[in-house]
Structure 1
């Protein structure tokens, strides 16, 4: 038995290291749930067992344009290394320090993983199959594995969902900071090169998409001139803001831009400010988080972060502002913002105290709020460039493989970078009004204008 991705009995037995009686494969995600890899849900009956083992297999796309995007940033390899290397290290250093109760990583376990690099793929003795690059994990959606599920992205995070999310982000960030302190590691990217961002080529591929999304965002709220002007200002400094927060040179130095002066109403610079660098999730929108619910009340009680393909070492507010301005209900964000930040501050502080490490340089409640305020510009950037894709009308969603195949068949370019750029440029095209997108954009850019960010 096999599917188009190449999942076979032999593959499963090798990966799971168990003899298999039978297995069933079905699609592991719905159209619009994810935008990079393929996900297959597999029920596996091992020999002698009546109940199946429920797993999901994240596979590499076979389309050249989509592969080129993943290869450009090393995304698949990054996620695999997070599970294989980073997470075990974040647990081991606690055990080595004699911590009585280890602080768990808010992420699912990995069962098996493999990555074949682009150079290695060229020399394979047989054609590359999607499943040749794989990450296998428990299927969290099944009852046996906790009945976790996604929050509806069109609804967004309410108070209870986001409290769990920002606490989970604080745990990941604080554990990575404590690890650096305990191991004497000043820069994690030197020790773990996979955490070094490789955004230059990815952004070049995605620039047409980002440009299209800025225009679509302005068109969506065209009857609100102040907010449109805010997007125009954001568009004018997008390269500098991206370079400042994603730690690569994108023109900000030549323009003299800093995180403080890039705002519409600049902040005074803090003398000798030191960066706050931690391990980030990197792609912190709602569909990269799965929730477990209380069976009686229906209230969310736990969250696990998934899809670590954009993880890197950087400013913690990249994760925080991304989620707040892309996935949190606007009214909830406005009403409870201070209490959300307090959860982050208290959780981070408590973990540092428990693990007996110093706080981040200059750590204080006032400093956290200052750095958050200026990082809102990244929340606005992600809102403008991401929301038009994830909140796209359901009847306008694009099958990624079909769209990418069509782009290749058009023969417009044999260059992978240009082909990938053309593919991404078409993802957010829309011919219909989108009231949900409009209300989200208006809420964010009204706040940005009032706060002097844009």
Structure 2
């Protein structure tokens, strides 16, 4: 059955589950996972996430009551599938490899990464158990629901310093182990070659192509920023190509001085769930989720993305220096623990690479920062920002966005980002 819910806070395509998502389907999936015959006696289905939490899939929360020879049980699950409704979401994802990639992450990469960490004496948990996955007759994955275990998505406040340090610690450990694997068994991760920048539908989508034009229009109308317009006029024809060269470089033209990792690819605040102790309220853990665009690329990709999509204004306008330096300390410590035999990365080398990949900063500031700030400030709806040109242009004049841009552009100038464009 579908439980009655307040529909206003959810994505429209998650209000009605598909016909195939029924008790029989969950029964088969659970029977295989539990490795015992069972019968689902009741199934409640609701939307899994709020508007703005995600875009590249359709998700439902299910609670299955079932019986086995040992008695009655209940299990909360998250069902993730491809969009079936016609529209922008289905169009932009139709040619992608997001489900193939995420299934490989849960079935191959992340278990191996955890195994390597365990051997080094580190019990860090990198992922939630995957109950079921398939590509045929439909693309679908089922996970254990983290909410009953005390995990929640942060929506109504900034993440704390302690929470973000835990986030960057997990990312650093994941990156470190992937560096070891790339160094010792490069073919093991060869299938992880499909990020969003490999997808023509993404590269031609207005979400990507209209960012700089909207940004230029804003620069025209904000007197103190107009002086920066020539720089963005200069890059508007080729900056996406420059980013593609960075994103795809490992596969097309790997460089000896670039630190390559298996990156998350969409490292923002709504793709992580935080757990606090029920009794004391003390922060305990964070779990990263949504590995649909994970791929091997420069280490800078997740870090630069986090500056715009995860951090708050104060840290962002310093280009995340403190958090990234903390991340680096965990990265090096983990590389040593797991016995990395390659050339050890340096902190100065990391920052050199971040600066060298400045076009990704330009893209994120002009195209994605408006989206995340519209969501965080509850100013505009995600679907409106993505699909309505007038609403999108409005997002460039949000106070939160203008305040950040007025600090970021001088910072870019100070760091020499506008030289040799």
Q: Distance in 2 between matches of 1:337 and 1:392?
A: 21
Residue in structure 2 matching 1:392, options 359, 374, 379: 374
Which residue is equivalent to 2:92? 69
> Are 1:10 and 2:11 matched, yes or no?
no
Task: For residues 151-197 of structure 1, give each alpha carbon's deviation from its aligned partner in whole angstroms, at most 9, with x where no partner exists.
Answer: 23x8544433321222121111111122234xx3235553xx24354
Deviation at 1:334, TM superposition (A): 4.8
Q: Indicate the SS of the match to 2:130.
A: coil
Aligned residues: 388
Deviation at 1:68, TM superposition (A): 4.1
Q: Indicate the SS of the match to 1:54.
A: strand
> Are 1:374 and 2:356 matched, yes or no?
yes
Q: Distance in 2 between matches of 1:163 and 1:230?
A: 34
Q: Distance in 1 between matches of 2:162 and 2:362?
A: 23
Q: Indicate the SS of the match to 2:392.
A: coil
> Are 1:80 and 2:81 matched, yes or no?
no
Residue in structure 2 matching 1:55, options 60, 77, 82: 77
Deviation at 1:70, TM superposition (A): 2.3
Task: For residues 48-98 of structure 1, give each alpha carbon's deviation from its aligned partner in whole angstroms, at most 9, with x where no partner exists.
Answer: 766631111112100345334324221121111111111122234556xxx
Q: Are the aligned partners of 1:109 and 1:137 in contact in 2 as well (CA < 8 Å)?
A: yes
- CA gap of 1:89–1:206, structure 2 versus 1, over 3 A, is same
Highest RCO, 1 vs 2 (Cα 8 Å, sep ≥ 6): 1
Q: Are the aligned partners of 2:196 and 2:202 in contact in 1 as well (CA < 8 Å)?
A: no
Residue in structure 2 matching 1:429, options 361, 374, 392: 392
Q: Indicate the SS of the match to 2:267.
A: coil
- 376-385 vs 14-23, which moves further: 376-385
Q: Are the aligned partners of 1:214 and 1:231 in contact in 2 as well (CA < 8 Å)?
A: yes
Which residue is equivalent to 1:261? none
Unaligned runs of 5+ in 1: 122-131, 259-271, 404-422
- Scaled by the length of structure 2, the TM-score of the pair is 0.80
> Are 1:33 and 2:39 matched, yes or no?
no
Deviation at 1:209, TM superposition (A): 2.3
Question: In angstroms, what is the RMSD of aligned CA positions?
Answer: 3.3
Q: Are the aligned partners of 1:75 and 1:310 in contact in 2 as well (CA < 8 Å)?
A: yes
Q: Are the aligned partners of 2:166 and 2:285 in contact in 1 as well (CA < 8 Å)?
A: yes
- Scaled by the length of structure 1, the TM-score of the pair is 0.75
Aligned positions of 1:199-210 closer than 5 A: 199-202=197-200, 205-210=203-208
Task: For residues 350-400 of structure 1, give each alpha carbon's deviation from its aligned partner in whole angstroms, at most 9, with x where no partner exists.
Answer: 2121122224x3622222222233334323322321123333364742559
Q: Distance in 1 between matches of 2:249 and 2:390?
A: 26
Residue in structure 2 matching 1:19, options 39, 45, 54: 39
Q: Distance in 2 between matches of 1:328 and 1:105?
A: 23
Q: Distance in 2 between matches of 1:303 and 1:69?
A: 29
Q: Indicate the SS of the match to 2:186.
A: coil
